[in-house]
Amino acid sequence: MAICAAVRFLSHRTAPVAGNHLRLRTAGPARSRRWWTGCRGVSRLGGVRELFHGQLERLGDELADMAGLACTAMEQATRALLDTDSALAEQVVSIRVEIDQRGRRCEEHACVLLARQAPVARDLRVVVTAIRMSEMIGRMGQLAAHIAELVRLRHPNPVLPIELVGLFERMAELAVHESRLVEHTIAAPAGVHLPEIERLDDELDQIHGEVLGQVGRTDPPYPVQCGIDVALLARYVERFADQAVSVTRQLDYVATGHTHRDSPL
């Protein structure tokens, strides 16, 4: 309902579609001009349709930038967690705000395209999928920020017991790898990395189970607060990776038109 209302509102606007307002602080992967305008190649179009496909490319760039920020947020949140660094945790919260702002611009951009261009077939699939992906990537930023907020809450005390540090490092490493693959797939895909990301996610899920099992088996048991913190942290990392898998499935849907049972399509 909210998206439909936005489309009706934006259809009466005459201002041009806004361009990218912000750029990532670090260089990302080279952009491909063929992903959002057709994975199998697109012939030269003239006039309005060529402009439309240019706008689709810009929408893809915006989503890739969001994914890069989400990856950076998880990297810094993990480092803040392991080093008990409250200043770095503050930076993660700031990145989360920037991701949310970019997500709103992506959704507005997509709604303007729906209202002005009335896309059909694959073009419509691309635009609708972009809206879903911006929500998922925004959720990734929120989950990284949850980790940072817990670091700030417990500072100057460490959140993790020392014996769980290695497991959390590996979980975070896998989650960051998945999110980096998402960024690269959006920005410069040679193909969707769905099998690789699902393999990484299976390993992460296994470690997640090990963490929870170790918390339950420890003798003497961890203090209640510590056990709750560990369970929450493990869940945040696991859900971050799940969102990365969902984004990749959306990209596979754009490329093939085939849906996945676990995807919210």
Q: Is the pLDDT of residue 21 over 50?
A: no
Q: Summarize the confidence of residues 233-257 as an average pLDDT.
A: 91
CA 201 to chain CA centroid, nearest Å: 14
Q: Using CA atoms, how far apart are residues 250 and 255, in angstroms rounded to an integer?
A: 9
Q: Is the pLDDT of residue 226 over 90?
A: yes
**Please, what sign has the CA dihedral across residues 51, 189, 98, 9?**
positive
Nearest to 131 by CA among 5, 10, 259, 250: 250
Tell me the pLDDT band of 189, cut-offs 50, 70 and 90: low
> Using omega within 30 degrees of 0 as the cis cutoff, is the peptide bond preceding 195 cis?
no
pLDDT of res. 255: 76
pLDDT of res. 152: 96
**Residue 189 vs residue 163, higher pLDDT:** 163
Q: Summarize the confidence of residues 66-91 as an average pLDDT.
A: 97
Nearest to 65 by CA among 34, 35, 21: 21
Q: Is the pLDDT of residue 79 over 50?
A: yes
Q: Kindly report the average pLDDT of the chain as a whole number.
A: 81
Tell me the pLDDT band of 211, cut-offs 50, 70 and 90: very high
pLDDT digits (tens, 9 = 90+) for 42-73: 444 455 566 777 788 888 889 999 999 999 99
Q: Is the pLDDT of residue 1 over 50?
A: no
Q: Is the pLDDT of residue 128 over 50?
A: yes
Q: What is the residue type of 160? A: L
Tell me the pLDDT band of 98, cut-offs 50, 70 and 90: very high
Q: Summarize the confidence of residues 246-254 as an average pLDDT.
A: 88
Contact indicator for 249, 133 with CB cutoff of 8 Å = no
**Residue 122 vs residue 249, higher pLDDT:** 249
Q: Taking the model in full, what pTM does it have?
A: 0.80
Q: Is the pLDDT of residue 34 over 60?
A: no
* Percent of residues, the chain, with pLDDT higher than 70: 77
